[in-house]
């Protein structure tokens, strides 16, 4: 019962209040307890018909675990029905998958992007032999365990064999080789077949299209850079090692040609892969010492590289993961169905993806500017600015000193402060100014600052291009941030409009009256919901339904505030009016065209019926 109730609430979150469209006002958070209104329940049914069908399948199974139902032909029929159903409704299919690399408008017809379901459910793709892999699924985690075991086998057994088990008999050696090839095969399968099929999150929805997942995997710049950099360093060290071997080798008879170089490179590579345990010939003591030292260096380097990789999964990330785990545990305790838990984890992933960027950018700038950050919290804003640049220097001077009284410490401190030269003071304040500007620029870009972020979005809105700075600043204070989840209705056709919306991030889709076609795709800086606010005759209610495609953050501007702004800015009023007229004209033309098409279809049908009757 509870599961059904949850399932029926699918796609419904805390409401923004205007027209029953899903929205979260203020800081983004997922409200699982928000009661679904009738409209939303209908919406979720309309919006997720294929999934309702799938869900009904699972419910039927649960209610009647009869084997006949699970017979392969029946299951295949249902799968085909789901597939057919999904393909019929273009807008439904459009929303049920993310194929963001393709132009959404192009999918207005029956050309449906392949994809999965919102909320992280495994997609139904009967035609595909190897479907996309859910990185949070049990199957993938089991696979990771296998890959890790192979990794440990390679990491531990190869040096062990090299050192202790060299004198192997032929039949034992066979088994070692088989194990080696097996672990290599697992690596290869992981690299070529598994990793490129890993689903990834885009705009909060899982991308399941294989071509997109593999493109995402292979084109990941960071991944490429890391591999490329590591491979380059390894070759570089092998090369240096080979040169060092040659230089320290006592045998002088060897010719100086490419074969000699290859010979020494071979020895250097073997030393490298065996961590210096392989002893190259000739056994000149100095050569051995150099090889051991270089191997140690290489190992230190490799450990540094591994540390760097692990470091990126920083403390914040670990804390974030911990928070997600605790939340998931709690939801499990409440017996929340799995799809809903997936929705929550997707939301967490989305939030992390957004905030993570900010932290990385900020750290990059601080690193570039050589700005030292305190590890302890800021006790007061005044102290923080001082600590930021100057305190480190004074602290170094005072390091290790002991004082018998606070007065003595203060005296010593004052002495050091008075010794700070004029240039250093200048540098300190200059650095501080740079940091402030740079950080506010980052906040501006990433939307973490408050007023500045709103301003940055507003400056992209064409309607307000002509507005004065003062008016914009006033507008900024009136914007209310709201967030929407995948598929949520922002405004519904026919409802009374109270707000106009500005897209801060994400994508919103203007739907056709039957919700089968996407009329327009609105991205960052776009404005919608203004037509019904302008009081134009014949357009006093919402002219279209607008849905959020993935996760989206919008700014809502109330009718009263818009009216006040337009009173002062005649130009903006004109732009909005012109835009509204154009939209209404377009919609009217489209409706007329559709009506004509329907009439023609009806005529054709009647004609064919008459023909059939005559033939009969």
| Residue 541: CB minimum distance to ligand CMP, A | 7
The residue within the footprint of ligand CMP, chosen from 542, 547, 549, 559 (CB under 6 A), is: 542
Of the listed pieces 12-20, 324-332, 352-360, 528-536, which binds ligand CMP according to CB under 6 A?
528-536
Q: How far apart are CA 225 and CA 163, in angstroms?
A: 34
**Which positions from 363 to 392 touch ligand CMP by CB under 6 A, shown as an x/- string?**
------------------------------
The residue within the footprint of ligand CMP, chosen from 184, 414, 462, 586 (CB under 6 A), is: 586
Asked if residue 512 binds ligand CMP (CB under 6 A), the reply is no
Of the listed pieces 21-29, 35-43, 182-190, 536-544, which binds ligand CMP according to CB under 6 A?
536-544
Tokens 């309702």 map to which residue?
Answer: 52
Of the listed pieces 207-215, 334-342, 440-448, 580-588, which binds ligand CMP according to CB under 6 A?
580-588
Asked if residue 519 binds ligand CMP (CB under 6 A), the reply is yes
Of the listed pieces 10-18, 115-123, 278-286, 579-587, which binds ligand CMP according to CB under 6 A?
579-587
Of the listed pieces 52-60, 101-109, 274-282, 582-590, which binds ligand CMP according to CB under 6 A?
582-590
Give the nearer residue to ligand CMP in terms of CB position, either 272 or 501: 501
The residue within the footprint of ligand CMP, chosen from 205, 212, 491, 507 (CB under 6 A), is: 491
Asked if residue 520 binds ligand CMP (CB under 6 A), the reply is yes
Asked if residue 551 binds ligand CMP (CB under 6 A), the reply is no
Give the nearer residue to ligand CMP in terms of CB position, either 95 or 264: 95
Give the nearer residue to ligand CMP in terms of CB position, either 387 or 515: 515
Indicate the DSSP class of residue 126.
T
Vertex 401 angle, CA 400 and 402, to 5°: 120
Q: How far apart are CA 526 and CA 543, in angstroms?
A: 17
The residue within the footprint of ligand CMP, chosen from 510, 518, 557, 575 (CB under 6 A), is: 510
The residue within the footprint of ligand CMP, chosen from 485, 507, 557, 583 (CB under 6 A), is: 583
Of the listed pieces 256-264, 356-364, 540-548, 592-600, which binds ligand CMP according to CB under 6 A?
540-548
Asked if residue 492 binds ligand CMP (CB under 6 A), the reply is no
Sequence-ordered list of residues with C-beta below 8 angstroms from that of 556, at least 6 positions apart, any chain: 16, 25, 479, 480, 481, 482, 499, 500, 501
Q: What is the SS3 assignment for 25?
A: strand
Sequence-ordered list of residues with C-beta below 8 angstroms from that of 480, at least 6 positions apart, any chain: 25, 555, 556, 557, 558
Q: What is the SS3 assignment for 250?
A: coil
Tokens 């290599």 map to which residue?
Answer: 184
Asked if residue 529 binds ligand CMP (CB under 6 A), the reply is yes
| Residue 575: CB minimum distance to ligand CMP, A | 13
Question: How buried is 427 (Cβ within 10 angstroms: 0-12 exposed, 13-18 middle, 19+ buried)?
Answer: middle
Q: How far apart are CA 51 and CA 47, in angstroms?
A: 9
| Residue 593: CB minimum distance to ligand CMP, A | 13
Q: Binding to ligand CMP (CB under 6 A): which residues in 265-304?
A: none
Q: Tell me the two tokens of residue 165.
A: 């088990």
| Residue 544: CB minimum distance to ligand CMP, A | 4
| Residue 363: CB minimum distance to ligand CMP, A | 40
Give the nearer residue to ligand CMP in terms of CB position, either 13 or 519: 519
Residues linked to residue 206 through DSSP beta bridges, in sequence order: 201
Give the nearer residue to ligand CMP in terms of CB position, either 10 or 559: 559
Asked if residue 587 binds ligand CMP (CB under 6 A), the reply is yes
13: left (phi over 0), alpha (psi -120 to 50) or beta: beta
Q: How far apart are CA 206 and CA 87, in angstroms?
A: 19
Q: Tell me the two tokens of residue 373.
A: 């950050």
Question: How buried is 70 (Cβ within 10 angstroms: 0-12 exposed, 13-18 middle, 19+ buried)?
Answer: exposed
Radius of gyration of the chain from Cα atoms? 33
Distance from the Cα of residue 139 to its chain's centroid: 22
The residue within the footprint of ligand CMP, chosen from 287, 345, 443, 532 (CB under 6 A), is: 532
In the Cβ-directed half-sphere of 565, how many Cα atoms lie within 13 Å? 32
Give the nearer residue to ligand CMP in terms of CB position, either 548 or 587: 587
Q: How far apart are CA 459 and CA 578, in angstroms?
A: 20
Q: How far apart are CA 313 and CA 307, in angstroms?
A: 10
Q: Please give the helix or strand (H or E) that residue 545 lies within, else none.
A: strand 545-548
User: Are residues 22 and 40 in contact, defined by beta-carbon separation less than 8 angstroms?
Assistant: yes
The residue within the footprint of ligand CMP, chosen from 439, 544, 556, 557 (CB under 6 A), is: 544
Asked if residue 497 binds ligand CMP (CB under 6 A), the reply is yes
| Residue 579: CB minimum distance to ligand CMP, A | 8
Q: What is the SS3 assignment for 480?
A: strand
Q: Tell me the two tokens of residue 446.
A: 């990433």
Give the nearer residue to ligand CMP in terms of CB position, either 267 or 542: 542
Of the listed pieces 327-335, 346-354, 541-549, 594-602, which binds ligand CMP according to CB under 6 A?
541-549
| Residue 520: CB minimum distance to ligand CMP, A | 4
The residue within the footprint of ligand CMP, chosen from 48, 95, 245, 528 (CB under 6 A), is: 528
Beta-sheet strands, E only, within 214-305: none
Asked if residue 536 binds ligand CMP (CB under 6 A), the reply is no
Q: What is the largest CA-CA distance in the chain?
A: 116
Binding footprint of ligand CMP, residue count (CB under 6 A): 17
Give the nearer residue to ligand CMP in terms of CB position, either 246 or 504: 504
Asked if residue 555 binds ligand CMP (CB under 6 A), the reply is no
Q: How far apart are CA 143 and CA 133, in angstroms?
A: 11
H helix runs in 467-569, sequence order: 469-478, 559-568
Asked if residue 502 binds ligand CMP (CB under 6 A), the reply is no
The closest of 211, 46, 252, 250 to 115, measured between CA atoms, is: 211
Q: Tell me the two tokens of residue 75.
A: 């299951």
| Residue 558: CB minimum distance to ligand CMP, A | 13
Residues that bind ligand CMP (CB under 6 A): 491, 497, 510, 519-520, 528-532, 542-544, 546, 583, 586-587
């Amino acid at each position: 019962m509870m599961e059904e109730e949850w399932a029926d609430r699918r796609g419904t979150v805390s409401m923004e209040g205007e027209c029953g469209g899903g929205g979260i006002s203020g800081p983004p958070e997922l409200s699982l307890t928000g009661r679904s209104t009738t409209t939303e329940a209908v919406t979720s049914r309309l919006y997720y018909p294929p999934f309702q069908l799938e869900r009904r399948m699972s419910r039927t199974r649960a209610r009647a675990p009869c084997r006949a139902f699970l017979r392969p032909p029946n299951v295949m029929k249902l799968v085909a029905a789901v597939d057919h159903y999904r393909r019929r409704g273009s807008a439904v299919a459009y929303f049920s998958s993310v194929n963001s690399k393709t132009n959404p408008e192009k999918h207005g017809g029956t050309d449906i992007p392949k994809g999965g379901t919102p909320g992280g459910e495994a997609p139904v793709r009967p035609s595909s032999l190897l479907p996309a892999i859910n990185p949070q699924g049990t199957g993938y985690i089991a696979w990771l365990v296998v890959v890790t075991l192979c990794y440990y086998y390679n990491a531990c057994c190869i040096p062990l064999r090299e050192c202790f088990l060299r004198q192997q008999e032929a039949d034992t050696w066979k088994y070692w080789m088989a194990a080696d090839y097996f672990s290599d095969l697992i690596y290869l399968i992981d690299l070529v077949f598994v990793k490129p099929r890993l689903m990834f999150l885009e705009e909060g929805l899982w991308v399941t299209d294989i071509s997109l997942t593999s493109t995402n995997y292979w084109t990941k710049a960071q991944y490429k850079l890391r591999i490329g950099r590591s491979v380059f360093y390894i070759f570089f060290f092998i090369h240096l090692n080979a040169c060092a071997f040659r230089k320290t080798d006592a045998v002088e008879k060897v010719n100086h040609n490419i074969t000699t170089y290859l010979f020494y490179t071979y020895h250097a590579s073997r030393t490298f892969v065996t961590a210096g345990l392989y002893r190259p010939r000739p056994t000149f003591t100095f050569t051995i010492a150099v090889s051991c030292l270089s191997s140690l260096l290489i190992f230190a380097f490799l450990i540094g590289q591994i540390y760097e990789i692990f470091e990126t999964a920083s403390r914040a990330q670990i804390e974030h993961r911990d928070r997600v785990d605790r939340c998931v545990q709690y939801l499990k305790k409440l017996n929340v169905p799995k799809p809903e838990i997936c929705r929550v984890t997707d939301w967490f992933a989305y939030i992390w993806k957004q905030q993570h960027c900010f932290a990385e950018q900020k750290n990059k700038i601080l690193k570039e500017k050589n700005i030292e950050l305190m590890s302890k919290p800021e006790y007061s804003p005044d102290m923080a600015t001082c600590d930021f640049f100057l305190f480190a220097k004074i602290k170094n001077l005072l390091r290790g000193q002991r004082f018998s009284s606070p007065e003595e410490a203060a005296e010593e401190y004052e002495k050091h402060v008075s010794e700070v030269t004029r240039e250093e003071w200048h540098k300190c304040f200059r650095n501080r100014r740079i940091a402030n500007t740079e950080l506010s620029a980052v906040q501006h870009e990433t939307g973490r600052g408050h007023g500045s972020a709103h301003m940055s979005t507003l400056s992209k809105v064409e309607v307000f291009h002509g507005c004065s700075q003062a008016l914009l600043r006033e507008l900024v204070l009136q914007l209310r941030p709201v967030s929407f989840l995948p598929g949520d209705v922002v405004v519904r056709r026919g409802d009374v409009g109270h707000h106009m919306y500005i897209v801060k991030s994400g994508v919103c889709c203007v739907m056709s009256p039957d919700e089968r076609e996407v009329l327009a795709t609105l991205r960052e800086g776009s404005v919608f919901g203004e037509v019904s606010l302008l009081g134009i005759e014949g357009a006093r209610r919402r002219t279209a339904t607008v849905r959020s495609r993935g996760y989206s953050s919008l700014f809502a501007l109330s009718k009263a505030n818009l009216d006040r702004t337009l009173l002062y800015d005649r130009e903006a009023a004109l732009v909005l009016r012109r835009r509204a007229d154009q939209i209404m004209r377009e919609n009217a033309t489209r409706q007329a065209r559709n009506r004509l098409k329907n009439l023609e279809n009806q005529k054709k049908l009647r004609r064919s019926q008459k023909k059939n009757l005559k033939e009969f």
